[in-house]
Chains A and B, each alone.
Chain A
Amino acid sequence: MTGQARTTPGAGPAWVRGGTGGGAGKASLDVDALLTDPDTQIIVCCGSGGVGKTTTAAALALRAAEQGRTVCVLTIDPARRLAQSMGLTELDNVPRPVAEAGAEGGGSLDAMMLDMKRTFDEVVEAHASPEKAKQILSNPFYVALSSSFAGTQEYMAMEKLGQLYDEAGAGAAGSARPGKRWDLIVVDTPPSRSALDFLDAPERLSSLLDGRFIKLLLAPARGPARFLSARFAIVTNALNKVLGAQVLSDVQTFVAAFDTLFGGFRQRADATFALLQAEGTAFLVVAAPDPDAMREAAYFVERLTHEDMPLAGLVVNRVTDLPAAMLDASEAASAARTLDSGAETDQQVAGLLRVHAERMLVRAREQKLKRSFSAAHPAVATVSVPALAGDVHDLEGLRQIGALLTA
């Protein structure tokens, strides 16, 4: 892939409409252009908790498949009903075809849910001898690391992404990625409190594994750091006292067994990070139109820019759309008060007017948030997705979101 293929000189990427450069911040995101561009190979949906990352990832993947692409979507903890609707009934860590998705346009959709512990176990099994793998997998430190360390989920999501990206297969005819099973991978990100966790966690984990303490535990065995051993003895004694003697030997077993894997871990994390920075990747920041989520989105956008990550744009999800009735909030509220003392029908109409007034106020607040975001980030292409009345739990709902994303 080349830079020229994706950008028209001077006009920004093909999926940004309007708002060129230092404009007034009206750049809008053309999601269909992004999805159908064969050079788009990875889409990452990130954002703070509960904003609609999983929904957006699934909707984008379905739409891309129905436009003819060979797609795999990696979801993380999807809501039960949504998972079932995509045929994800088992957490078996392999992509399964989503029946009735994409067949008409020649595309296809596979979907999977991430099993972080299993992904970690598989990495160990793939890179250590069977004997050593067994030793590692049953070590309490490993068990804790692979099932409850904050950041493992993010790390394993990246690991899985790397695997899916590399998976060989027939692919689609004329695919931009010949020999690979999928030509587009859409990734959901874990429900972290802060959108930034996704970028930081792998680094945290690998620096922990590369950390001083682990180096130190390995040092006596290796020899060169003998001079440390007096102080090391103090440390060992202290640890024995606090944790109990067996703990230290567990740590040492863990570290020794893991030693050969360490270098590999960092390398893999670095490779995936590079993949995320590549031009075929598009980050979509998802936000809800509330102050917290928009603040997180702003941080994330700035961070992505700072790290040279390919930011495609912002999806503001679940916005209140302009109601059919053209009536401002204060007028509706004052009419409602007039009707309060009337007959039953009048009171019911007062209720309707209040529903309308509330909606107009909420909408005004949301619009204000969106405006201040664009004012601060005029170059970030944005698309808004209205809130559906119900929630999104089947393919039909995903199609609807897909259509709204591209409306």
Chain B
Amino acid sequence: MTGKGGTGKTTVAAALAISLATRGRKVLLCEVEGRQGIARLFDVPPLPYEEREIGVGHGGGQVYALAIDAEAALMEYLAMYYKLGRAGKALDKFGVIDFATTIAPGVRDVLLTGKVYEAGRRRDKDGGYSYDAIVVDAPPTGRISRFLNVNNEVAGLAKVGPIRKQADAVTTMMQGRRTAVHLVTVLEEMPVQETLDAIADLRSADLGVGNVIVNQVRQSPLTPPAQDAIGSGRLDAAAISASLAKTSIGASAELGVGLLEEGAAHAVRQELQTDQRKVLAGVDTQVIELAYVSEGIDMGALYDLALSLREQGLQ
């Protein structure tokens, strides 16, 4: 799940995880940017580097959450593949871990995506996959292609060696049919533009684009004919006053003028949204819309959003 900052990546990723967790399915929801957005959303204590059950989906599925931390992932990786007990600690002490996870090109991303890769391939004792689905609350649109196309990113660094091998394996999974990148946007110029740019970037990196999810869509109380009537002047202050006379407010031409003014400003805003919707209609992926929840996002709202995703085919 990617998108411009603040459009709703974390919220929609959580809603999707809930939506996927149906009929006993087991879903892992990961975050990779060390911000504890999932914990805040689900109102639980900060997540450790450890998979924790945090909620249930429709029909008894389970949602697990994991905050992937690059440094912890590196230590885990070293311990697992190299049995580097002592050297591992020395690396940390000398600031190598810090260095490797911050400026070594692509290493941080290999570690983060590598953990997703590991969880995606993990199998239970009975031989089935541990998770039926993994949802990643991913970096924003500006960085998503680089994040997923890690082997390209480490190419300048490592021509051979285990990091390179790991990056190749991760990229193969990310480019595979079982991975889809969903893009969250709102109906504003910059986020929509970034969405289009990201789709082009993803495609040229052979990454599969899933759905565009238009979030925070505000329903207008004005029907299109009503907007038309206001725009064309057919609905004027006198007519409004006449209608107001039938209510407890009573006739008022002054209120009529005021309400018309507000209606006109509202219509301009709606039109901007309509324009952006038209821009999005040009993309060849399915566009899904999620309503703006004016009371704010709580657990109830997350389940509603999950339901809405399911109804639109994302489950």
Contacts of B107 in A (CB 8 A): 243
Cross-chain contact B103 with A149 (CB below 8 angstroms): yes
Q: Can you name the residue of chain A whose Cβ is closest to the Cβ of B77? A: A242
Q: How far is the CA of A246 from the CA of B158 in the complex (A)?
A: 7
Which one of B33, B222, B259 has the highest number of Cβ atoms from chain A below 10 Å of its Cβ? Answer: B259
Cross-chain contact B189 with A239 (CB below 8 angstroms): no
Cross-chain contact B249 with A234 (CB below 8 angstroms): no
Is residue B247 within 8 Å, beta carbon to beta carbon, of the partner chain?
yes
A11 → B minimal CB distance (Å): 38
Is residue A7 within 8 Å, beta carbon to beta carbon, of the partner chain?
no
Contacts of B84 in A (CB 8 A): 238
Size range of the chain A interface in the assembly: 35 or more
Contacts of A391 in B (CB 8 A): 188-189, 272
Which one of A208, A212, A344, A351 has the highest number of Cβ atoms from chain B below 10 Å of its Cβ? Answer: A351
Question: Among the listed B105, B163, B240, which residue makes an inter-chain contact with A349, where contact means beta carbons less than 8 Å apart?
Answer: B240
Is residue A327 within 8 Å, beta carbon to beta carbon, of the partner chain?
yes
Cross-chain contact B190 with A79 (CB below 8 angstroms): yes
Q: Can you name the residue of chain B whose Cβ is closest to the Cβ of A50? A: B6
Size range of the chain B interface in the assembly: 35 or more
Chain B contact residues: helix, strand, loop or mixed:
helix
Cross-chain contact B243 with A148 (CB below 8 angstroms): no
Q: Which of A340-359 contact B (CB under 8 A)?
A: 342, 344-356, 358-359
Q: Which of A316-330 contact B (CB under 8 A)?
A: 323-327
Contacts of B239 in A (CB 8 A): 345, 349
Chain B window 86-97, contacts with chain A (Cβ cutoff 8 Å), 1 for yes, 0 for no: 111011001110
Is residue B122 within 8 Å, beta carbon to beta carbon, of the partner chain?
no
Cross-chain contact B246 with A353 (CB below 8 angstroms): no
Q: How far is the CA of A214 from the CA of B94 in the complex (A)?
A: 9
Is residue A193 within 8 Å, beta carbon to beta carbon, of the partner chain?
yes
Q: Which of A72-113 contact B (CB under 8 A)?
A: 79-81
Is residue A273 within 8 Å, beta carbon to beta carbon, of the partner chain?
no
Is residue B162 within 8 Å, beta carbon to beta carbon, of the partner chain?
yes
Q: How far is the CA of A8 from the CA of B160 in the complex (A)?
A: 67
Contacts of B86 in A (CB 8 A): 234
Contacts of B294 in A (CB 8 A): 358, 361-362
State the A residues within 8 Å of B (CB): 48-50, 79-81, 140-141, 143-145, 148-149, 191, 193, 208, 211-214, 216, 231-232, 234-235, 237-239, 241-247, 250-251, 291-292, 323-327, 331-332, 334-335, 338-339, 342, 344-356, 358-359, 361-362, 389-391, 393
Q: Could you show 26 A-B contacts with beta carbons less than 8 Å apart?
A: A81-B189, A140-B156, A144-B157, A145-B103, A148-B146, A208-B102, A214-B99, A238-B82, A241-B162, A243-B162, A244-B160, A247-B104, A247-B163, A324-B261, A331-B249, A334-B247, A335-B248, A339-B243, A345-B235, A347-B226, A352-B221, A352-B222, A355-B220, A355-B221, A359-B262, A389-B268
Task: For the complex of A and B, list the 10 residue pairs with the smallest distance between their C-beta atoms, beginning with the closest.
Answer: A244-B161, A325-B258, A144-B105, A354-B221, A212-B95, A324-B258, A140-B156, A335-B247, A389-B268, A213-B95
